[in-house]
Each structure stands twice: as C-alpha cells, then as structure tokens.
Structure 1
C-alpha cells in the first residue's frame, strides 16, 4: 500500500522553505541598501549620464531650443529661433539622422546616432532655411531665423 503521510508533506514544505528563505534574504538585503547614511557622512554623487554609443541622453533643460527627430520626421515644423541660437537636436529614432541646411550648408549637426543628441548654431542672418536629413533625404524641415 502506497500511502502519503502528513509527515512527508511537511518534509517537502520544509525543503522548499529552506531553499526560499536564503534567496529572500539576499533580495531583501540587496533592495534595502540606501544612500542615506545615519552617521552624517555623504555619499559620492551619481556619475553623469553616459554618452557612449547606444546610450540614451536625456533631452536638454527647459528653455533651450529643441528640434526632435521621431519616426523619421522633424518637429516642430517650422522651428523659429533667434539669430545665432544653439539648437539641440534629439534623435528619438533607433537609426542615425542629420539636420543639414540645404543651401550653403548654413548648419549641419553631422550624424546623430539613434537615441543621441547633437547641436548646431543657427545662422546669424535672419531668413528661412530649409534643411534635410542627408541620410534620409525625404526628411525635411524649415528653420526660421528672426
């Protein structure tokens, strides 16, 4: 007769608990570390964001001029800036792009890898400047300097 006794079920539960408790302790210890120190000492500041290839750089601070590339399109359209303004270009696509003035190469970001940012300085002469992505020339935009 093959009968399971309450004792064998208890043994299995103890084995499972014996395996789970150490794993839970490791998780709790790892999650409970804190940068707050009670002895008044300070911790070192966090490292600045990485700009290595493939890393995502956060967009610039509020108040800066931003041109966004997303889904193979520039925004806003058109972009109006002051003469000589520094424009930060945020590439939200996974593929590289540029923002390059069509006439006289009045500005050019160079290649901006996917998830990265680049900058260009707007011309100092007021006017309307058409630009493209030299990699994907169907991508167009207009910069108005006024």
Structure 2
C-alpha cells in the first residue's frame, strides 16, 4: 500500500532530512582526499582562541609591582620571560619531583641553589637594568630570561 503524499511542513522536513543524508553520504570522497574523515558527519569543529595560559607563557610579564613568581613545572620555567623592577624579590616554586635551580648564566648575578621538590626559595633581582638569561644548572635545557627595568 503506497503512503499518502506529504504536504506542508511534513514534506519540507522529509526533504531536508533526505538532503542531509545525501550530503553525509558524499562527505568522504570525490574531493581528491585519501581516506575518510575520522569525525562523524554530524560533528563540527570550531577553531578556538588560545588559552590564556598558553598566551601568557609565550609573552613577557609586565614589571612586577608586588609579587614576582617563577614556577617550575614539568621541567619548564613559567613564565619563561619575566620583567621585574631592579632589586625586586623573586619567588621560585618547584612543582616538579626533582631538584632544580634558577641560575643566571654568565653574569652570576643570582642563583637559588638547589630547590627541592615542593619547596620555595627567593632571590633578589639585580640592581642594574638589563636582560639576564638563566637556566637550571642541573638541567641546562631549561632556560628563561629575567629582564630588570
């Protein structure tokens, strides 16, 4: 027994559903790509803005008015670049499971010594304005820069 013809909104909805199914069936080929998409046809991805933590880790922090803090986490200095006022106190917190240092390279103007896991140490920023690269003397691939204004 044939179905009665659909009219009005029901016909429009049925046509729309058929169109979507036809497009979904065509989404994996004919465009020169090799293979099919791993995402379902109904999934949409929208580019998102970088998270604030990613953005801040790539830039220098403004001169510290109060607290200047370097966090050591996952064998990285966070932030890797920081600007402070001359003579400021800089606090370093080690969130890793091994010792680290914050040691000025070349100038010898600051060195925290070994900071145990979970520990915090402080040092005074140099009195002279300039850029002071530093590393971890235990893990020299860890690098940062302290800029004194």
TM-score normalized by structure 1? 0.56
- Give the counterpart of 1:81 among 74, 84, 87: 84
Distance in 2 (alpha carbons) for counterparts of 1:77 and 1:96: 18
What is the CA distance between 1:141 and its match in structure 2? Answer: 0.3
User: Which sections of structure 2, spanning at least 5 residues, go unmatched?
Assistant: 1-65
Deviations 1:33-52 (Å, cap 9, x if unpaired)?
A: xxxxxxxxxxxxxxxxxxxx
Question: Considering only aligned residues, what root-mean-square deviation do their CA atoms show, in Å?
Answer: 0.7
Aligned residue for 2:74, secondary structure, equals: coil
Aligned to 2:143: 140
* Residue 108 in structure 1 maps to residue 123 in structure 2: no
Distance in 2 (alpha carbons) for counterparts of 1:91 and 1:104: 23
The runs of at least 4 consecutive aligned structure 1 residues that moved more than 6 Å come to none
Aligned to 1:13: none
Distance in 2 (alpha carbons) for counterparts of 1:75 and 1:126: 21
- Give the counterpart of 2:70 among 43, 67, 70: 67
Deviations 1:1-35 (Å, cap 9, x if unpaired)?
A: xxxxxxxxxxxxxxxxxxxxxxxxxxxxxxxxxxx
**When the two structures are aligned, how many residues end up with a matched partner?**
84
Aligned to 1:33: none
TM-score normalized by structure 2? 0.55
User: Which sections of structure 1, spanning at least 5 residues, go unmatched?
Assistant: 1-62
Deviations 1:41-93 (Å, cap 9, x if unpaired)?
A: xxxxxxxxxxxxxxxxxxxxxx4210010000001121110000000000000
Distance in 2 (alpha carbons) for counterparts of 1:110 and 1:117: 11
Deviations 1:85-123 (Å, cap 9, x if unpaired)?
A: 000000000100000000221100010001100111100
Pairs within 5 Å for 1:89-108: 89-108=92-111
